[in-house]
Amino acid sequence: MARSFSNSFTAALNSNSLNYFFLIELELNSTAYYTSFHRNIVYDGHTWLGDGGVFSIEPPNFSSILDREAYTIVLTDIADSVSDSFKLGVIGNTIKVSLGLLDSNGDPLLGAGDVSPTYSGFIDSPSVNISWDEKTAKIEGTSPMADLDQVNLTMVSKDGMDQKNSTDTSFDSIYEDSETHISWGKI
């Protein structure tokens, strides 16, 4: 499916100075909406907070090898709202990031076809960094290759199959402690 962009988005994309912002939707205790733009943005029925909460966004690097490069978002957390959510458990909650462009006046383009989704995944490893200068909450989103590390166990037995589907008889002739001798080579 091809993405379609508005004429204003295409014009901003082709301009000499490309200015952009991110919209970040995080499922914490409740859904939180942040933007990297310097002021609040109303988009898609939500107010995206532009109060300086987005410290950095480090998207995964493109490479020619399979790796587990994660999507990293760092938020300032002076009021402890994000770190308090971490304590309640956020691993596996959703993250969505979209990219928007600014027009020639520096205003965000927010019409239909103006905002492009760039990442959708799950919180993998949240952490908090406290130093003398700042307090930040780091959220790593799952890598697109994270499923390559997943281990699925399947019991190859009649009982194992009955746990998945009691009407499936494909493993009925597999017996525990049965031996089969196969002659290799010429007979």
In the chain, what are the domain boundaries?
Answer: 7-147
Please answer whether residues 24 and 132 qualify as being in contact, where contact means their C-beta atoms are separated by less than 8 angstroms.
no
Which of the pair, 77 or 98, is modelled with greater confidence?
A: 98
What is the model's pLDDT at position 140?
A: 86
Which of the pair, 39 or 83, is modelled with greater confidence?
A: 39
Q: How far apart are the first and last CA of the chain?
A: 55
Local confidence band at 139 (pLDDT 50, 70, 90 cut-offs) = confident
For 33-48, the pLDDT digits (tens) are: 999 999 999 999 999 9
Q: Report the C-alpha gap between 115 and 8 in whole angstroms.
A: 11
Cβ neighbours for 56, distance < 8 A, ≥ 6 positions apart: 72, 73, 74
One-letter amino acid for residue 110 of the chain: L
- pTM, two decimal places: 0.68
User: Residues of 101-135 as b/e, b for ≥16 C-beta within 10 angstroms?
Assistant: bbeeeeebbeeeebbeeebebebbebeeeeeeeeb
